[in-house]
Structure 1
Amino acid sequence: MTSATELDVLRVFCGPDGRYGNALGVVRDGTAVVGEVARQTLARRLGYSETVFVDDDERGAVDIYTPTTRLPFAGHPCVGTAWLLDLPELRVPAGVVEARQDGEFSWITARPEWAPGRTLRQYASALDVDTLVVPPPGEWIYAWAWQEEAAGRIRARAFPGRGDGIDEDEATGAAALLLTRELGRALNISQGAGSQILTAPNPDGSVEIGGRVVLESTTVA
């Protein structure tokens, strides 16, 4: 990778006031970082929950990494990258992700079977979720509780359990996708310190995931 490679840093699934959201690194010229080893090394150094390498900004071909592994699909990277590139679809190893903009929200459509495995763990109340301590490394846990069941409002926190320095994800699209499939209804999820994720199931089994995206900075990786 050359020193001229630009990195866009976004926050995805921001709250109504534009704060919070999960940080995402996007290397627009992904061809400047050649090979999985080099990309994994950069993703580990940057330390975001995910880093995206754009291999073709016209076709929307992207490659997604956590600090420790390559992912066939991930929610907040696809929502953020589709917003950044203003494309109607992205191509990830799992398949084609449709994208659209609707006012302040950026939406993608994806299939739950694309999402990595998550343990969805329900708690009795939002307070129970709020007071959880970070568990030791192990399984990937999405802790959730109803805030207002009739309205589809949920309180959630996400614990990746990977031991890579990211003890808690501020906002997690793939886990929200799996929870939407399990509950079979549209959800309004408050996750982390103040992030918001909207979801809606489709008749064909796919799920829409939406949220606000903010460009935090453009720098050199």
Structure 2
Amino acid sequence: MTDYDVLRVFCAPNGGYGNELGVVRDGSVLPERSDRQAFAAKLGFSETVFVDDPERGVVDIYTPTLRLPFAGHPCVGTAWLLDVPELVTPAGVVGARQDGEFSWIEARPEWAPPRTLRQYATAAEVDALPVPEPGTWIYAWAWEDEAAGRVRARAFPGRDDGIDEDEATGAAALLLTAELNRALNITQGKGSQLLTAPQPNNWIELAGRVTLET
């Protein structure tokens, strides 16, 4: 049996909600990509991380169906778990820091996979959306308070792998922050919270609360 931790990333202020993440701290137990893909599919989380070097923060990220060069909530959660100053992903080096209750990473929006950002007039419209048919990856959002940078969002991966809605999606938050060019406080899914802040030279900081379940 392969040992792994289960985290919840981008939790609400009360510690609830958040997106589950599987982390295999000793990636050497499953060195082959095909075995890692099969294990990620077996666990069924939106992403599973394999740590190849815990001191340097070298990580390998998988959804149930594919390998990702970068993903937001896996990096936020794994940086918190390993307590390292950076993570090394196939996309590039991700800066990391801890600030009180929040785990922060710094990444580039071009590392994020393509997402369709779809704005709605009100948060109530976003709340009422049904899950669309598989196909396009949609990040539905609306302003809750534009002056304060508060956003209501839901994410629909559009994949046929049993994950109809992603509870908290850091990569999409990076893309929305880049498009709006401002700091955001995002409530996604059932109540997860994501914070973002643009930085110089097209870097964006992304933060959330992380809890360890097992």
Shorter-chain TM-score category? over 0.9
Tell me what 2:98 maps to: 101
Aligned pairs (5 A) from 1:121-140? 121-140=118-137
Q: Structure 2: how far apart are the matches of 1:6 and 1:107? A: 26
Structure 2: unaligned runs, 5 residues or longer = none
Q: 1:73 aligns with which of 70, 74, 77?
A: 70
Q: Structure 2: how far apart are the matches of 1:6 and 1:44? A: 15
Tell me what 1:147 maps to: 144
Is 1:55 the counterpart of 2:52? The answer is: yes
- Count of matched residue pairs: 214
Tell me what 1:214 maps to: 211
Cα offsets for 1:53-99 (capped at 9, x unmatched): 00000110000000000000000000000000000000000000000
Cα offsets for 1:143-202 (capped at 9, x unmatched): 000000000000000000011100000000000000000000000000000100000001
Q: Structure 1: how far apart are the matches of 2:79 and 2:20? A: 15
State the TM-score, normalizing by the size of structure 1: 0.96
Q: 1:183 aligns with which of 176, 180, 188?
A: 180
Is 1:194 the counterpart of 2:173? The answer is: no
Q: 1:169 aligns with which of 166, 169, 178?
A: 166
Is 1:42 the counterpart of 2:39? The answer is: yes
Given residue 196 of structure 1, which amino acid in structure 2 is its aligned partner? Q
State the TM-score, normalizing by the size of structure 2: 0.99
Please report how far the alpha carbon of residue 6 of structure 1 lies from its aligned counterpart in structure 2 after TM superposition: 1.6
Tell me what 1:64 maps to: 61
Tell me what 2:16 maps to: 19
What value does the CA root-mean-square deviation take over the aligned residues? 0.4
Given residue 194 of structure 2, which amino acid in structure 1 is its aligned partner? I
Query: Displaced runs of 4+ in structure 1, greater than 6 A?
Result: none
Q: Structure 1: how far apart are the matches of 2:202 and 2:86? A: 18
Q: Structure 1: how far apart are the matches of 2:68 and 2:179? A: 22
Structure 1: unaligned runs, 5 residues or longer = none
Given residue 165 of structure 2, which amino acid in structure 1 is its aligned partner? E
Partner SS, residue 165 of structure 2 = coil
Please report how far the alpha carbon of residue 110 of structure 1 lies from its aligned counterpart in structure 2 after TM superposition: 0.1
Given residue 188 of structure 2, which amino acid in structure 1 is its aligned partner? Q
